[in-house]
Every structure is written in structure tokens, then in C-alpha cells.
């Protein structure tokens, strides 16, 4: 039963999805629906009150008429029975028949089906007499007989009984008639057909009026909300076009009301945004052009200075120690300056949108090994061991190998620089959709919030810190752009005193959308380890092997 219930619940969710989506997205639908519900409740309550009060008024009027008629009938019956001193009078049954006949013939409602009956419960030898040959067992109930015969009081009941093959509602009234030999009971039964018909007509009229009123209120609510929602929808569509780059889109202003004021204010805001965006685009274009032009123009004097510096550096052994040291410093700073120019040119290509991806099917394992081999000298100088955790089988992905190698060179180089003479782990893993490479160091780490700042241009965690590699401050920015160009992610994690870890995630097939990464961003040695479980031999053989370079 639980399974069937879950299946039914899922099907209901699927079937109701369009309605729920329309409810969430349409303000007009919500307003009209709430108006219909509220008006239905109010109109329903008011209609029920009107119909109930009308039925009670009709019934009260019928009861008053029956009460007046009942008094007259009791008085007549009492007058006719005074001539009989005792219940054994043989003329008494005929008097009962005469009384019933006279009361029935003189009753204007007799033709409508009213009945008159006289009984003597205290004198069983006297037969009961009814104006028509109709069974009154359902009309004159035991409770009514008890109140009239035993308690000797006037009582009335509303009884629904089947008379002459039709079910009819009757107002049955009983009253004791005093006589010289005790009392007899007179019953007057009036059908409430007219009152029920009038009450039903009133209910039908109230129902029809209520339905028409609710529909009219719904239509009015729809029209009113349409007047308000339509400009809002136009403003939303105009805002979407503005966000898509169509800065000349404006709303139509009609009239002088609040909605017209909203449209005018929106148009003024759009015009101001257009001016600001155009100005910022022009400034950005000029800045990109300035950076690109300066970088290109610096190439020529840099080449000349490089030639002179190379000549001086080659002859430094013939100079005195101070001049030789100056030649070495000049050579190092020229290398850094040239690297900075290269990075600036690359950044300008990203900003201008000219960067292109030369994707090809590439094995990433040799790329990681090549990066580690080229940085082995630097790692040895600073006392950092680079540990490679690579799978035995090739990891093929459709990437640009030059850009991937540049990203890994930046990540591993930064990890070596900030490694604090502790090992740096480089891990490679893949699945059917993505490839992930993590670079983990155990250095000073990152403060909270700095994992989002490390990819900003020229940002440094500690500007006063002595540099070993002479970086330009643009490496991680270029790496992030390279990752985005692949459709991948470049993310960072760090904690003070616990080191940092960078994760590069790329799709296996170029153009695919990434949903998950094969490796976690937070290192496993940082998170609490789960309870150990037996590892099958196949899983052990699938673990990447660690290699120290």
C-alpha cells in the first residue's frame, strides 16, 4: 500500500505540475483564484443565511396559520362533545365522524391534502376517525401521541411520510379536547408542499444569483488585475531585452496615472543605464586597446634591451663583482618583465574575446608528468617534494593541451612557492563525463573568503612575502579564463595553517556541460574519514599510484 501510495503521489505531482507552474508564475491567476474562493465563501454563507431565514419564515407563517385554525377546530370539537356525558354513549362514534367531516369540509386547505383525525387513547373502545381513508401511522408518531394524550398539551411535529404513493412533508399538530368523560385528541396534519416549493425556489434563485455574482466578481478581478499586470509584464519583457543587450528598448507611456509614472520612470532608468553602459564599454574598450597597444609597443624596446642585456650577461665574468651582480639582476628582471608582457597580451586577448580553443584528444597523464618534471628544479631548491597520484591507464579528454599545461604550471608553481617545504600532491582522476586535477599544498593556506579572491588580477595573499618565482600576479586569472574557455571549473579551497587545494575540472568531450567533479574540492585528509570497510582487490588496483619527483 505504501508503494502504491508513493506511485499515486508521484503521478499526482506530474499531473499537477503545469497547474503549479502556472500558479507560481501568474500573478493574475493567483488574484483571480483567491477572489473566486473568497467571494464563493462569502456569497455561499450569505446565500445559506438568506435561504435558511426564508425557509424559517415560511414555516413560521404556516405554523401560525395552523395554530389559529387548530384553536377553532378544538373549540368546535369541544362544543360538539359536550352533549355526551360518558364514553360509552352509542352516539359518540357518529359524533366523531360528524366532527371530522365538518372540520375537513370547512378547511380551505383540505383540497391541498390536509388531514383531520380524532382519537381517544384513554378509551380504546372508541375508534379513531380520519377525514380521508389514509393511514396515519407515520404522521401521528408515538412521541406526538405521548405529548398530547399523556401530557395533555398542544404539540407539533414536522414529519415526512409516504401518503398516496408520494412522499410529502407534513406539519402535524395535536391538541387535547376536554369532554365530560375525560379528553380526546384532535390531530390536524397540513402538507408543507407549498412552503417547500417556495423555499426551493428561493434556494435556486439565491444559488443562481450567487454563481452569477461569483463569476462576475472573477471577471472583474481578472480585468482589474490585467490592467495592473499587463504593464508589469511589459516591463519584465523590456527588462529582459535590456539584459540581453538591446539597450534601446523602452516602455510605452499612456496617460498620467501611477502605471504611466512607472513606465516613465522605467524608461528614464533604462536611458541612464544605456548611457552608463555605453560609457563603460567605451572605457573598457579603450583600456583593452591601451593594454594591448602598450604591450605590443613595449615588445620592440624590450627586444633591444634584451639583446643588450644578454650581451652584458654573457660578459659578466670580466666585470667586477658589483657590476656582474647588477647584470644578473638585470637579466632576472627582464625575464620577469617579458613574462608580464606575455601575460598582459594573453589577458587582452581574453578581454577582447579573441581567445580560441584548439581542442584535440589528449592524454593528460604525460602533461601532468611534464609539468612536474619542469618544476622539479624549483621544488628541489625550496625543499618541496612533488607527489604525483596518476592512474595507470591513459586519461583521454578533448582539451587544448597548451592551455591545460599552462594552468597546471601555474597551480603547481604556486603550490611549490607556498608549500613551506612540505610535499605537494597532484592527483588526476576521471569518469565518463569529466576529468579533475587537484593540486594540494600544506603551506600557510587561505583565509576565509580568499578562495574567491585568488583569481583576481594582481591579487596576492601576502604582498610582503618574499617571492621565489618572480610571478606576475596574472597566472591564476589566466588559468581561470583557460578553464572557462574549456567549459570547465577552476576552484580553490584553503584554511589558515592547513594549506590549500586547487581543483581543475574539464569536460571529457568539448562543449559538454559539467555537473559534477570526479575529485572533491575539500581534501580527504581535511574531512573526517568514514568508517573503514573491506576494499575489494579491483578497487585497490584502481587507486592511482603515488610517484615522488
H/E/C letters for each residue in 431-490?
CCCEEEEEEEECCCCCCCCHHHCCCCCCCCCCCCCCCCCCCCCCHHHHHHHHHHHCCCEE
Asked if 85-195 and 358-507 have one fold, the answer is no
Distance CA 190, CA 193 (A): 9
Nearest to 426 by CA among 489, 466, 458, 379: 379
Question: Nearest Cα to 420, choosing from 491, 476, 498, 473?
Answer: 498
Cα separation values, 270 from 228, 266, 549, Å: 21, 6, 59
Q: Cα torsion for 455, 460, 466, 470, to the nearest 10°?
A: 40
Q: Tell me the Cα Rg of the chain.
A: 50
Higher pLDDT, 501 or 527: 501
Pair 405, 373: CB distance under 8 Å: no
* ∠ CA 60-64-66, rounded to 5°: 115
- Indicate the DSSP class of residue 319: S
Domain boundaries defined on the chain: 85-195, 250-355, 358-507
CA 359-361-367 angle, to 5 degrees, is 90
Query: Per-residue pLDDT for 339 more than 90?
Result: no
Concatenating the DSSP letter of every residue in 20-77 gives HHHHHH-HHHHHHHHHHHHHHHHHHHHHHHHHHHHHHHHHHHHHHHHHHHHHHHHHHH
Mean pLDDT of 123-151: 82
Looking at the DSSP assignment, which residues form a beta bridge with residue 129? Answer: 118
pLDDT tens by residue, 149-183:
888 888 888 888 877 777 888 888 999 988 888 88
DSSP conformation class of 110: G
Average pLDDT (418-423) is: 86
Query: Is pLDDT at 533 greater than 50 in this prediction?
Result: no
Q: Does domain 250-355 have CATH number 3.30.56.10?
A: no
The rounded distance, in Å, linking the Cα atoms of 267 and 273 is 10
Tell me which of 29 and 285 has the higher pLDDT. 29
Structure confidence by residue, pLDDT tens digits, 219-231:
888 888 888 888 8
Is 399 a residue whose pLDDT tops 60?
A: yes
Of residues 341, 252, 349, 235, the one with CA closest to residue 297: 341
Task: Kindly report the CATH number that applies to the domain delimited by 358-507.
Answer: 3.30.565.10
Q: What is the mean pLDDT of residues 288-297?
A: 69
- The class that CATH gives domain 85-195 is alpha beta
Q: What percentage of the chain reaches a pLDDT higher than 90?
A: 14
pLDDT digits (tens, 9 = 90+) for 70-79: 888 889 888 8
Could you give the CA distance from residue 108 to residue 338 in angstroms, rounded to a whole number? 122
User: How many CA atoms are closer than 13 Å to the CA of 118, on its beta-carbon side?
Assistant: 28
pLDDT at residue 24 greater than cutoff 50: yes
CB atoms within 10 A of CB 212: 11
Q: CA distances (Å), 126 to each of 172, 174, 505, in order?
A: 22, 18, 108
Q: Does 534 score more than 50 pLDDT?
A: no
Are 317 and 324 in contact, with CB atoms under 8 Å apart? yes
pTM of the model: 0.47
The three three-digit cell numbers of residue 435, written as one number: 576529468
CA distance 377 to 374: 7
| Least confident stretch, 12-16, 298-302, 341-345, 408-412 | 341-345
Across 17-26, 172-181, 212-221, least confident range: 17-26
Write down the pLDDT at residue 535.
Answer: 36
Residue range 247-274: mean pLDDT, rounded: 82
Amino acid at each position: 500500500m505504501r508503494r502504491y501510495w508513493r506511485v499515486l503521489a508521484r503521478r499526482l505531482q506530474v499531473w499537477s505540475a503545469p497547474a503549479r507552474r502556472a500558479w507560481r508564475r501568474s500573478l493574475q491567476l493567483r488574484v483571480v483564484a483567491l477572489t473566486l474562493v473568497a467571494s464563493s465563501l462569502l456569497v455561499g454563507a450569505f446565500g445559506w443565511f438568506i435561504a435558511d431565514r426564508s425557509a424559517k419564515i415560511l414555516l413560521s407563517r404556516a405554523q401560525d396559520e395552523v395554530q389559529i385554525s387548530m384553536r377553532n377546530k378544538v373549540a368546535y370539537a369541544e362544543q360538539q362533545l359536550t352533549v355526551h356525558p360518558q364514553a360509552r354513549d352509542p352516539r359518540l362514534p357518529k359524533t366523531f365522524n360528524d366532527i371530522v367531516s365538518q372540520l375537513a369540509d370547512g378547511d380551505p386547505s383540505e383540497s391541498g391534502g390536509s388531514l383531520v383525525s380524532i382519537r381517544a387513547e384513554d378509551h380504546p373502545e372508541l375508534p379513531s376517525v380520519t377525514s380521508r381513508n389514509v393511514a396515519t401511522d407515520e404522521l401521528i408518531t408515538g412521541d406526538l401521541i405521548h405529548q398530547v394524550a399523556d401530557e395533555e398539551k398542544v404539540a407539533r411535529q414536522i414529519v415526512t411520510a409516504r401518503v398516496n404513493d408520494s412522499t410529502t412533508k407534513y406539519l402535524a399538530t395535536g391538541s387535547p379536547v376536554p369532554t365530560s368523560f375525560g379528553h380526546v385528541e384532535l390531530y390536524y396534519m397540513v402538507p408543507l408542499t407549498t412552503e417547500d416549493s417556495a423555499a426551493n425556489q428561493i434556494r435556486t434563485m439565491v444559488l443562481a444569483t450567487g454563481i452569477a455574482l461569483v463569476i462576475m466578481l472573477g471577471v472583474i478581478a481578472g480585468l482589474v488585475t490585467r490592467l495592473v499586470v499587463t504593464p508589469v509584464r511589459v516591463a519584465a519583457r523590456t527588462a529582459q531585452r535590456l539584459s540581453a543587450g538591446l539597450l534601446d528598448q523602452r516602455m510605452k507611456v499612456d496617460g498620467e496615472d501611477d502605471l504611466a509614472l512607472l513606465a516613465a520612470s522605467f524608461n528614464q532608468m533604462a536611458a541612464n543605464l544605456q548611457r552608463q553602459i555605453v560609457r563603460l564599454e567605451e572605457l573598457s574598450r579603450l583600456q583593452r586597446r591601451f593594454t594591448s597597444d602598450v604591450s605590443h609597443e613595449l615588445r620592440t624596446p624590450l627586444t633591444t634591451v634584451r639583446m643588450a642585456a644578454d650581451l652584458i650577461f654573457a660578459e659578466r665574468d670580466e666585470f667586477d663583482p658589483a657590476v656582474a651582480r647588477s647584470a644578473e639582476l638585470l637579466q632576472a628582471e627582464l625575464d620577469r618583465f617579458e613574462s608580464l608582457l606575455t601575460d598582459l597580451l594573453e589577458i587582452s586577448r581574453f578581454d577582447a574575446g579573441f581567445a580560441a580553443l584548439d581542442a584535440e584528444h589528449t592524454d593528460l597523464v604525460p602533461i601532468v608528468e611534464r609539468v612536474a618534471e619542469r618544476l622539479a628544479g624549483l621544488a628541489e631548491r625550496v625543499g618541496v617534494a612533488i607527489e604525483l597520484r596518476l592512474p595507470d591507464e591513459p586519461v583521454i579528454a578533448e582539451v587544448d593541451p597548451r592551455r591545460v599545461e599552462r594552468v597546471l604550471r601555474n597551480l603547481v608553481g604556486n603550490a611549490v612557492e607556498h608549500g613551506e617545504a612540505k610535499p605537494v600532491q597532484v592527483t588526476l582522476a576521471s569518469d565518463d563525463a569529466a576529468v579533475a586535477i587537484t593540486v594540494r599544498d600544506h603551506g600557510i593556506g587561505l583565509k576565509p573568503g580568499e578562495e574567491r579572491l585568488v583569481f583576481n588580477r594582481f591579487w596576492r595573499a601576502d604582498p610582503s612575502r618574499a617571492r621565489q618565482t618572480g610571478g606576475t600576479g596574472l597566472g591564476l586569472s589566466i588559468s581561470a579564463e583557460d578553464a572557462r574557455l574549456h567549459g570547465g571549473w577552476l576552484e580553490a579551497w584553503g584554511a589558515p595553517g592547513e594549506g590549500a587545494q586547487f581543483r581543475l575540472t574539464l569536460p571529457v568531450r568539448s562543449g559538454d556541460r559539467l555537473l559534477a567533479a570526479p575529485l572533491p574540492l575539500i581534501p580527504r585528509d581535511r574531512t573526517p574519514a568514514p568508517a573503514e570497510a573491506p576494499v575489494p582487490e579491483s578497487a585497490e588496483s584502481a587507486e592511482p599510484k603515488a610517484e615522488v619527483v
